Amino acid sequence: MKQRLAHAGVITTILAFCLCLSPTKTYAYIDPGAGSSILQLLIAGLLGALYAAKLHWTRIKSFLAKRRSTSVPTKTKN
């Protein structure tokens, strides 16, 4: 526990030091190609998530089936 706290303190100190060195004013320019790059990143992320779901579809399906069977009690006719 003490090691984690000390590690967090070191990281906080480094981040504070970096923030003190950063400029107060920034002049940024977003070129027209930035929009298409962001769009490409969003599409790639979506397609990557869909591909990962496809690879693990049986696990997802069995997890949802277990969850549904335990959460919804079945009625039996007497």
Q: CA of 40: how far to CAs of 33, 35, 51, 63, 67, in Å?
A: 11, 9, 16, 32, 35
pLDDT confidence band for 29 (50 / 70 / 90): confident
In a domain? residue 49: yes
Lowest mean pLDDT among 20-24, 32-36, 38-42, 70-74: 70-74
In a domain? residue 64: yes
In a domain? residue 59: yes
d(CA 40, CA 36): 6
Q: Which amino acid is at 6?
A: A
Counting the structural domains of the chain, the total is: 1
In a domain? residue 29: no
> What's the pTM value of the predicted model, to 2 decimals?
0.43
In a domain? residue 66: yes
- DSSP letter at 37 equals H
Phi, psi of 27 (to 5 degrees): -110, 105
Q: Which domain covers residue 61, as residue numbers?
A: 43-70
